Homo-oligomer: A and B are copies of this chain.
Amino acid sequence: MENRTSVEIGNDAGRAADNVVAALEAQIVSGQLKNKAPLPAERELMEQFGTSRTVIREAISKLSSLGLVETRPRFRPIVRKPDYATVLHACGNVVQHLLTDKTGIKNLYDSRVFMERALVRDAAMSARKEDIVDLKAALENNRNAIPDSLEFYKTDVAFHGVLYRIPRNPIFPAIHEGYTSWLAPQWDQMLRSPERNEVNYIAHKAILDAILERDPAAAEEALTNHLKAAWEFVRVTFDWGEE
């Protein structure tokens, strides 16, 4: 009952799982396997593809690391059509290994500063009316949350998030999610206080004011000051070495 003739071109010792991966991949993107639906049972797949469960499991593992299915320990894999957040999430597992020392964190933080400098400049030059509305609303939420550090953290992230949405490129919000999930958790919450919140609120306000003035240079400078100050505060608090 074994159809071993399914040898594709170049029967190179390539993994049989790759064929299964490719097939399921096609079924997922074509919608034949619907999003959010569970994958067929392993024993069914092994019959469907004429291979052993070993291969099926390896294929599912690959699909999982590709972000095409979502696996939980004892549950059926769930089909998931990939999006930009998926990519960043997949990166996260690897990124973690690069943040073990201060250098790694600094590099990532610097890249964020670089990114957001460009973002605020872009915002100052080409933010639409809706964007301005969103920014003002985010800033207002920011101000109201000053007494509550946890809430302020959320509004802080949200304010920056608006900046990432202004270019209307879905990649950018995903990057933002990456930064906040990789960079912040280590210290961002613990060293907040109403006083710090006030400082950050003022910084945000300065950024928004510059955007309203349509002044890219001022916006960039305000953003830079904001993030540099935040880094400096973290650096001193944790007694990291000099720059």
Contacts and interface: CB of A to CB of B under 8 A. Distances in A.
**What is the copy number of this chain in the assembly?**
2
B71 A11 contact: yes
A70 B7 contact: yes
B118 A67 contact: no
Contacts of A4: 72-73
B110 A12 contact: no
A64 B171 CA distance: 25
Count chain B CB atoms within 10 A of each CB in A9, A77, A94 and give the residue with the most. A9
Nearest to A90: B10
Interface stretch (A79-87, A127-135, A187-195): A79-87
A218 interface: no
Given A66-B97, A71-B13, A87-B94, A118 B107 contact: no
Interface residues of A, number: 60
Nearest to A75: B13
A83 to B, nearest CB: 7
A71 to B, nearest CB: 4
A89 B9 contact: yes
A68 interface: yes
A83 B65 CA distance: 18
A9 B67 contact: yes
A8 interface: yes
A29 interface: yes
Interface in A47-100: 54, 57-58, 60-62, 64-68, 70-74, 77, 80, 82-84, 86-87, 89-95, 97-98, 100
Contacts of A83: 98
**The 6 nearest A-B residue pairs measured at CB:** A65-B65, A118-B118, A13-B71, A10-B90, A82-B97, A111-B171
